[in-house]
Chain A
């Protein structure tokens, strides 16, 4: 029997996959994205370098700072700009806060799809902590347009450091409760442990990224492997697990949130008290003809921008490589042979964001 899941199905987001089932087992799966495709790459060819920032955020509004982070790094490499030191710290801080906002949203959806209503409400509520902080920092709640080539738009407001530290400490206590109520719950364990195992060899062969890769035992995190801005001065460990099942894929982002709190504390602690936050740029910056490829570790893995410039204010070509698009390759691999009831647990453990895959 052939089933078409999505694109309006609440379990798939704006994404469809065609599956064939034999009894209770899935025997065929064909992911079919494209329902929210908006042509971001083409739009980049019609706007100048700075004007690209607000619309590039749209594919992943919950993780908007990381999306523009990667773009800004690529443009900086092309033009040859150095970001001031304080600007680098604030950038990294905003990036970590966005990672929390995204991961909490994902965790909320994952919780509700495994029938755990509390795990929908708690992360959805705790997101507000970081959304409030981002609002205080940037003036916007969701899409901030905060990262620009050369640094960040504004300096931190007064009293932000104390407020942020207070929120982070509260959130660290909450994370312990998440672990007790969700990750240690026998029902959740039964639905995820040993389900849809992705071996280390297959993960490397499929080229998956982010938490999916790290759950299969490959400790690869762009922040550690190719540190950008001040990440080489920050002490943190790459979070990874060995089992490669749905549980590991859902637990690695949680470990990332813990580590991210630790990173944010260090960033706030080591940040220079004053200084410039953005390099001086021409109103309409343009670089020499050339190419650049830069990437950051976003909430869903490596997020890279390949940009080509022909020396004009508008970029000649922008190619975006995103974690979601790379990870859907693992979906047929994992779902074929799984049971129908495991589908939500497998699908959401891939940390998938449909709009990002389509761009």
Chain B
């Protein structure tokens, strides 16, 4: 055993990081869409002042896309934006290629029967960019509840593949361009409503 090579000694974090330079945050701002930031739609009880870095990301997006991107809230490490289904692929491509959000951590839908809408939220993160490491950008897109169709982000983020399949099954949202809108987690003979819709009731409740 003496000649056996010892396992590679792990190095300290960051010493070999090959992260590209952080995205440049433009100073120019557009006030039209940023009005949404001033009056956040949601928030925790003790809402802190909007953080500079996150606001910079929001400004960069509004500078690039103008009114096509609606900033819903800015919170430390969390920024949520809402886009139209027709723009979601181009915004996601920009987020990946220019801003450095290289993977999707989570993606899931929420049913809003009162608005007759369903919302799909992609939580995007970054492995390669150290500044963006703790950030999660929530990319939201809404669709009509009666005929739910959304373009797939599979060609932008490979990591959403199973999340979109799960959402298709649990909420019934069709992802146009996804190769497998089919049975995934539920029993093969499932013939009821998609179970995460609000009008699906658990028996006895």
- A328 interface residue (CB < 8 Å to B): yes
Q: Is the CB of A321 within 8 A of B45?
A: no
A186-B186 CB under 8 A given contacts A205-B158, A207-B105, A293-B136? no
Q: Is the CB of A329 within 8 A of B158?
A: yes
Q: Is the CB of A293 within 8 A of B185?
A: no
Residues of B contacting A: mostly: loop
* B113 → chain A closest CB, angstroms: 11
A207-B103 CB under 8 A given contacts A184-B1, A240-B10? yes
- A287 interface residue (CB < 8 Å to B): yes
Residues of A contacting B: mostly: mixed
Closest to B166 in A: A325
B78-106: CB near A (< 8 Å → 1, else 0) gives 10100000000000000000000011111
- A346 interface residue (CB < 8 Å to B): no
Within 8 Å CB of B44, what residues of A?
A: 77-80, 287-288, 290, 292
Residues facing B in A216-267 (CB within 8 A) are: 217-221, 224-226, 237-243, 247-248, 251, 255
- A142 interface residue (CB < 8 Å to B): no
* A168 → chain B closest CB, angstroms: 20
Q: Is the CB of B196 within 8 A of A42?
A: yes
Contact of A204 among B6, B45, B78, B103 (CB under 8 A): B103
CA distance A186 to B105 in the complex (A): 37
- A273 interface residue (CB < 8 Å to B): no
Within 8 Å CB of B158, what residues of A?
A: 205-207, 329
Within 8 Å CB of A189, what residues of B?
A: 4
Contact of B138 among A43, A203, A206, A293 (CB under 8 A): A293
CA distance A37 to B184 in the complex (A): 10
Q: Is the CB of A226 within 8 A of B77?
A: yes
Q: Is the CB of A304 within 8 A of B123?
A: yes
Within 8 Å CB of A251, what residues of B?
A: 7
Chain B: interface residue count, which band? Answer: 35 or more
Q: Is the CB of A219 within 8 A of B106?
A: no
A319-B106 CB under 8 A given contacts A207-B159, A329-B158? yes
Within 8 Å CB of A207, what residues of B?
A: 103-105, 157-159
Contact of B127 among A43, A46, A220, A247 (CB under 8 A): A220
* A150 → chain B closest CB, angstroms: 14
Within 8 Å CB of B186, what residues of A?
A: 34, 37
- B108 interface residue (CB < 8 Å to A): yes
* A176 → chain B closest CB, angstroms: 12
Within 8 Å CB of A242, what residues of B?
A: 8, 16
A186-B10 CB under 8 A given contacts A79-B45, A226-B134, A293-B138? no
Closest to A77 in B: B44
- B22 interface residue (CB < 8 Å to A): no
* A17 → chain B closest CB, angstroms: 13
Residues facing A in B23-76 (CB within 8 A) are: 42-46
Within 8 Å CB of B134, what residues of A?
A: 225-226
Within 8 Å CB of A317, what residues of B?
A: 108, 110-111
CA distance A72 to B4 in the complex (A): 45
Within 8 Å CB of A180, what residues of B?
A: 1
* A263 → chain B closest CB, angstroms: 15
Within 8 Å CB of A41, what residues of B?
A: 170, 196
Closest to A37 in B: B185
- A113 interface residue (CB < 8 Å to B): no
Closest to B185 in A: A34
* A282 → chain B closest CB, angstroms: 13
A329-B159 CB under 8 A given contacts A207-B103, A289-B42? yes
CA distance A33 to B186 in the complex (A): 9
Q: Is the CB of A42 within 8 A of B43?
A: no
Closest to A220 in B: B127
Closest to B102 in A: A204
CA distance A180 to B1 in the complex (A): 9
- B17 interface residue (CB < 8 Å to A): yes
Complex A-B, nearest 5 residue pairs according to Cβ-Cβ distance, in ascending order: A207-B159, A80-B45, A321-B106, A207-B103, A290-B42
Listed in ascending order, the chain A residues whose CB lies under 8 Å from chain B are: 33-34, 37, 39, 41-43, 46, 77-80, 179-180, 183-184, 186, 189, 203-209, 213, 217-221, 224-226, 237-243, 247-248, 251, 255, 287-293, 295, 302, 304, 306, 308, 316-317, 319, 321, 325-326, 328-329, 358
Name 9 interchain pairs, CB-CB below 8 A, sorted by A: A37-B185, A80-B46, A184-B6, A204-B127, A206-B159, A287-B44, A319-B108, A321-B123, A326-B159
